Amino acid sequence: MSFLDLVSKRQSDRAFDPHRQIEQEKLDRILQAAQLAPSACNAQPWHFIIVKDELLRHQVADATSTKMLGINHFTKQAPIHLIIVEEPANFSSRMGSFFKKKHFPHIDIGIVAEHICLAATDEGIGSCMIGWFDEKRIKKILNIPSSNNVVLDIVLGYSTQDLRPKKRKEIKELVSYDKY
């Protein structure tokens, strides 16, 4: 599969086969792809919690959904929630963040998240990044120290959805050459 085929095949999957587990060797390769992601000053400011236990998974899923807005109910079907916890970055990255007024760990975590989703696609596994969740609740459920931020939950599972055409801005809207 070419890289463009791979990125075209990745989509946010919002329906999973709840009875089909992800094979450990596939998960291991996905985690290896995460391990290989770049980060500012190679700080690797992340920790991944693989939530597989049914009770914990359902509690985490509940913390991502909001009844009133009808958001993220599908997350209960996913056999894995991969929680990305932000870890303190190394000194160089923190200096960079301070002097350049950019929080590099959030950029790093965005990159590692896409490594994970693309690796999942490559394994035939569906994914969806979940940014809408009750962080306090997730920290409590998973014993995450209050000083660490939970940045993303990535749900993983065998998708039951067909590939949708992508809705994207035209390249000419996104790109300019030489000047803004």
In the complex with ligand FMN, which residue's Cβ is closer, 14 or 29? Answer: 14
All residues at 6 or more sequence positions from 180 whose CB lies less than 8 Å from its CB, including other chains: none
Q: Which of 11, 77, 93, 121 binds ligand FMN (CB under 6 A)?
A: 11
> How far does CA 153 lie from the centroid of its chain?
5
Q: Say if CB 82 and CB 153 are below 8 A apart.
A: yes
What is the contact mask toward ligand FMN in residues 107 to 146, using x (rule: CB under 6 A)? ---------------------xxxxx--------------
Q: Which of 67, 166, 172, 179 binds ligand FMN (CB under 6 A)?
A: 166
Q: Say if CB 59 and CB 136 are below 8 A apart.
A: no
In the complex with ligand FMN, which residue's Cβ is closer, 116 or 130? Answer: 130
Q: Should residue 72 be labelled a site residue for ligand FMN when binding is judged by CB under 6 A?
A: yes
- The tokens for 174 are 């996104």
Q: Should residue 159 be labelled a site residue for ligand FMN when binding is judged by CB under 6 A?
A: no
Q: Which of 8, 9, 12, 123 binds ligand FMN (CB under 6 A)?
A: 12
Q: Angle at CA 35, nearest 5°, toward 64 and 136?
A: 25
Closest CA to 137 of 75, 77, 65: 65
Binding region for ligand FMN (CB under 6 A): 11-12, 14, 72, 128-132, 166
